[in-house]
Structure 1
Amino acid sequence: MPDDLKTIVRNRFLDSLACILGAYGAAPVKASVAYASSIPGGAASIFGTTLKTTPECAAFANGVMVRFLDYNDGYMGLEPGHPSDNIPACLAIAQAENAGGDELIAAIVLAYEIQMRFQDAASLNKQGWDHVNYVNISAVVAAAKLMKLSEAQIEQAINISLSGHLAMRQVRSGTLSDWKGCSAANAARNALFSAQLARHGMTGPAPIFEGRMGFQNQVTGEFFLDPADFGSVAGGDLAIRRSLTKTFPTNGELHTAVWAGIELRNRIGEVSDIQSIRIETSAFNKRVLADGADKWRPRTRETADHSLPYNVARALIDGDISIESYSPENITDPVAIALMDKTTVVVDPELTALFPKHLANRVKVTLKSGESLISEVISGPGSVETPMTQVQFEAKFHKMATPHLSEGAQESVLDFVSKLDQQSGYDSLFAAMAGAAG
């Protein structure tokens, strides 16, 4: 692989580690680790602990950590998704199978390629299905590749993984629960289970995509997807190059609204001077991020970080979005509630036309004086046009790591990731990431 592609993978890997550290101690993480501890004796490690368990349990627990803060990378095609959800599954299998870092990198690139191509091909959410159903496909193929399964076994692994583990979109509707951050980790867990069954000769229903009762007829509707058109190292156009990274621990489609709110905050004297707020956005954002009363009165972290009105209100108040933005005190902050009561969200045809290439938002604030202020942001840091730099990825890692790891441990992690393609094992990474548990 070319060096720049390896750098992209290392950055996505480091970004995932930053998200993992930020999730240490969270309630869903504690529950996931407690479950994994009941199945000891495996060959895969869990971050923040000295525990080893089965690859499936490790993929789930570590996947919950990656996803908890909604801070990991993402991609928007006809369907949204987070391709880095595949990384914990790839790592768990790589560790269990004694696969080297170069094989791990190849598996991650493959997983991104498959998930993002499916995201481009067909929408799931419009039919009431969750985007993690594409992780059923991407993670099982990446795992099977690391396990060195045959082509016939990989086909059966896909059949089992996709047919047996479909997730409903209700996980992201209404008041959101812990499972919002666990759904993809569960898809990865199921994918590893399916790959291991296929290794031992289990077969699955086929044709899984085109069959009369298959994926297209039951879930997505008809779509065209030819693997011959996928990117490759030789031919280029690899999808991982188009994945987006996050500068805020919140939903990716509303990042530009946050940037607009921050920019307006610098032009407004006091938030008490605000008469009304109008957010102009894409049809997708209106449908997903402002879809009901819960988004104007979030009661959970998971609902708040998917609320367009809440995030704009918080950006106007604080001039930033951070982990603390979703504390119970901030979610119930009377000032934020008052601003949300002054907020309307409308679909703008021009911004909808830019979607999904650009996740644009426009925020208009009218002051009590009658003055109107407008900020429109088409794209921001972490986008394809303005990718995060190596310095920014490392800064994000240090920010999340400082409460948990010593400076020496942080440097050990950075050194490990910088040589990821040369690694022959992963125990030293988990030891450095263990923190107090180590």
Structure 2
Amino acid sequence: MPQESIAARIARYAIDLPAEDLPADVVACVRRRVVDSLACVLGAYDAPPVEAAVAVCRTVPVPASTVLGTRLQTTPDLAAFANGVMVRFLDYNDGYMAREPGHPSDSIPACLALAEARSLPGSELIAAVVVAYEVQMRLQDAANLNRRGWDHVNYVNVAVAAAAARLLGLDRTQAEHAINLALSGHVSMRQVRSGTLSDWKGCSAANAARNAVFAAQLASHGMTGPSPVFEGDAGFFAQISGPFELDVDSFGKSGERDFAITRSLTKTFPTNGELHTAVWASIRLKPRIPSPESIESILIETSEFNRRVLADPRKWRPTTRETADHSLPYNVVRALIDGDIDLDTYSAEKIGDTRALALMDRTTVEEDPDLTALFPRHLANRVTVTLASGDRIAEQVISGPGSVETPMSDSDFERKFRRMAAPHISAGAQDTVLEFVENLDEQSRYDDLFRAMERPAR
């Protein structure tokens, strides 16, 4: 008897996971990730890529899924895209580092769009989010894509297709075809995160989610997809990732506590997660530095991944927000100057600041094999500043807030949410959102959430 394909095993897991038996800590983790995602959404309301995505949604008005911040409703796949761009734009949503990096909360907007469109209870939304995290993070554990020139959002394709199949009520065979269609038809290149970064850096995951929703909708009407999509002669293994093992039987199960979502990492700064510890190190150093002008040189010691991805030549002269928030030297320099990293860090004024540019010219980034050995379990960085006086001061941070060792608390997520929400919605609306998510597993409709997230008319 032929061995069951990976897509078939993922489909079986997605369809069969019981919603009612998820551990309480897993349900609580989903609630926190939803609050975290909504905080990111609010901070992105005025971003040009978001405005472009919403404009496209306006061309397809359909009473199905709501575009956050508006009263507009559109198709689930377009809502998944527009809302997904909002979650991802600031690079402030959660992440996970394994053989491949990624952002598992990229799946939440798609799950929310389908749950609303089909009037599904909050408990089913939670289960779908758990499925998406489980699939994406286990794939990230299994194989690296970026060294081969492919992007991590190819795993978003699979994760959202599996979650969407569940939310659409597909059977196992249809769910398998949803995965086959999503993965075979929509492969993303790593160029989206190489060199000078464009608007698409914050949109590609949302596009993968949109494609996956569409694939699941096709499968629901009987469309079949290329199979086996992973193991075939011209499939994912052969063309993209190389062969890998994926033990779906080890995925999180009802009554057990080993769910991948509890290992996802959250962010205290709106920037690339792998450089957070370098920012913390720089913030600790700032009080010991008389002035930026007193800095003779800066040495950043980091992992091989960070040196290769976050310190390539384009990262030394960022010209866009997307490039700046993925630049290790830029973020270290700005943290040494400002003592913090916030949304204003990536303004055109600060990106072009001559003081920062001069300090970046005196900055060196080197791989430390010891720090590489800690990766990806720990995203460690060391920053050493040599002063004009000849003094050398250094800080090394192995793990910071938002890590598995020191996770953010409910109050941390609330503070993050309210900080992002304050410019856009009232304190009462903020209370409504937080209360809604706190009782997410008991919700049966989503109107209150979307109305509270709506921006007043300007």
* TM-score, normalising length: structure 1: 0.99
Equivalent-residue separation in structure 1 for 2:254 and 2:126 (angstroms):
12
From 43, 49, 55, the equivalent of 1:34 is 55
Q: Give CA-to-partner distance per residue, 1:196-246, whole Å, 9 cap, x none.
A: 000000000011001010000100011111211112232321000000000
Structure 1: stretches of 5+ with no match in the other structure: none
Shift of 1:415: 0.9
From 45, 55, 61, the equivalent of 2:76 is 55
From 394, 408, 415, the equivalent of 1:388 is 408
Equivalent-residue separation in structure 2 for 1:6 and 1:157 (angstroms):
26
Q: Are positions 1:416 and 2:436 aligned together?
A: yes
The residue number in structure 2 matching 1:69 is 90
Structure 2: stretches of 5+ with no match in the other structure: 1-21
The residue number in structure 1 matching 2:386 is 366
SS of 2:82's partner is helix
The residue number in structure 2 matching 1:101 is 122
List 4+ stretches of structure 1 deviating above 6 A: none
Equivalent-residue separation in structure 1 for 2:118 and 2:166 (angstroms):
11
Listed as ranges, the matches of 1:137-286 within 5 Å are 137-286=158-307
The residue number in structure 1 matching 2:9 is none
Shift of 1:148: 1.0
SS of 2:394's partner is strand
Q: Are positions 1:349 and 2:365 aligned together?
A: no
Listed as ranges, the matches of 1:16-27 within 5 Å are 16-27=37-48
Contact in 1 for aligned 2:23/2:257 (Cα 8 Å):
no
From 308, 316, 329, the equivalent of 2:328 is 308
Q: Give CA-to-partner distance per residue, 1:365-408, whole Å, 9 cap, x none.
A: 00011110010000000000000011100000000000000111
SS of 1:435's partner is coil
SS of 2:300's partner is strand
Contact in 1 for aligned 2:23/2:255 (Cα 8 Å):
no
Equivalent-residue separation in structure 1 for 2:393 and 2:281 (angstroms):
11
Contact in 2 for aligned 1:49/1:437 (Cα 8 Å):
no
Contact in 2 for aligned 1:50/1:437 (Cα 8 Å):
no
Equivalent-residue separation in structure 2 for 1:241 and 1:117 (angstroms):
12
The residue number in structure 1 matching 2:359 is 339
From 416, 419, 441, the equivalent of 1:399 is 419
Contact in 1 for aligned 2:136/2:156 (Cα 8 Å):
yes
Equivalent-residue separation in structure 1 for 2:307 and 2:427 (angstroms):
43
The residue number in structure 2 matching 1:426 is 446
Equivalent-residue separation in structure 2 for 1:98 and 1:437 (angstroms):
27
Shift of 1:5: 1.7
Shift of 1:96: 0.8
Contact in 2 for aligned 1:282/1:348 (Cα 8 Å):
yes
SS of 2:434's partner is helix
The residue type equivalent to 1:177 in the other structure is S
Equivalent-residue separation in structure 1 for 2:88 and 2:293 (angstroms):
35
Q: Give CA-to-partner distance per residue, 1:338-390, whole Å, 9 cap, x none.
A: 11000000000000000000000000100011110010000000000000011
Equivalent-residue separation in structure 2 for 1:42 and 1:85 (angstroms):
23
Shift of 1:435: 2.0
Residue range with higher mean Cα deviation, 221-230 or 254-263: 221-230
Residue range with higher mean Cα deviation, 266-275 or 60-69: 266-275
Percent of matched pairs sharing the same residue:
66
Equivalent-residue separation in structure 2 for 1:42 and 1:188 (angstroms):
20
Equivalent-residue separation in structure 2 for 1:352 and 1:3 (angstroms):
35
SS of 2:228's partner is coil
Contact in 2 for aligned 1:406/1:435 (Cα 8 Å):
no
Contact in 2 for aligned 1:257/1:312 (Cα 8 Å):
yes
Q: Are positions 1:4 and 2:25 aligned together?
A: yes
The residue number in structure 2 matching 1:124 is 145
SS of 1:362's partner is strand
Shift of 1:271: 1.1
Shift of 1:437: 4.1
Contact in 2 for aligned 1:360/1:378 (Cα 8 Å):
yes
The residue type equivalent to 1:334 in the other structure is T
SS of 2:81's partner is helix
Contact in 2 for aligned 1:283/1:352 (Cα 8 Å):
yes
Equivalent-residue separation in structure 1 for 2:129 and 2:333 (angstroms):
37
Contact in 1 for aligned 2:77/2:213 (Cα 8 Å):
yes
The residue type equivalent to 1:213 in the other structure is A
Residue range with higher mean Cα deviation, 91-100 or 320-329: 91-100
From 102, 114, 120, the equivalent of 1:81 is 102
Equivalent-residue separation in structure 2 for 1:129 and 1:366 (angstroms):
38
Equivalent-residue separation in structure 1 for 2:406 and 2:257 (angstroms):
20
Contact in 2 for aligned 1:298/1:307 (Cα 8 Å):
yes
Residue range with higher mean Cα deviation, 221-230 or 208-217: 221-230
* TM-score, normalising length: structure 2: 0.95
Q: Are positions 1:136 and 2:157 aligned together?
A: yes
The residue type equivalent to 2:397 in the other structure is V
Equivalent-residue separation in structure 2 for 1:3 and 1:239 (angstroms):
14
SS of 1:75's partner is coil
SS of 1:365's partner is strand
Equivalent-residue separation in structure 2 for 1:7 and 1:25 (angstroms):
30
Equivalent-residue separation in structure 1 for 2:247 and 2:255 (angstroms):
18
Contact in 2 for aligned 1:157/1:198 (Cα 8 Å):
yes
SS of 1:408's partner is helix
Shift of 1:63: 0.1
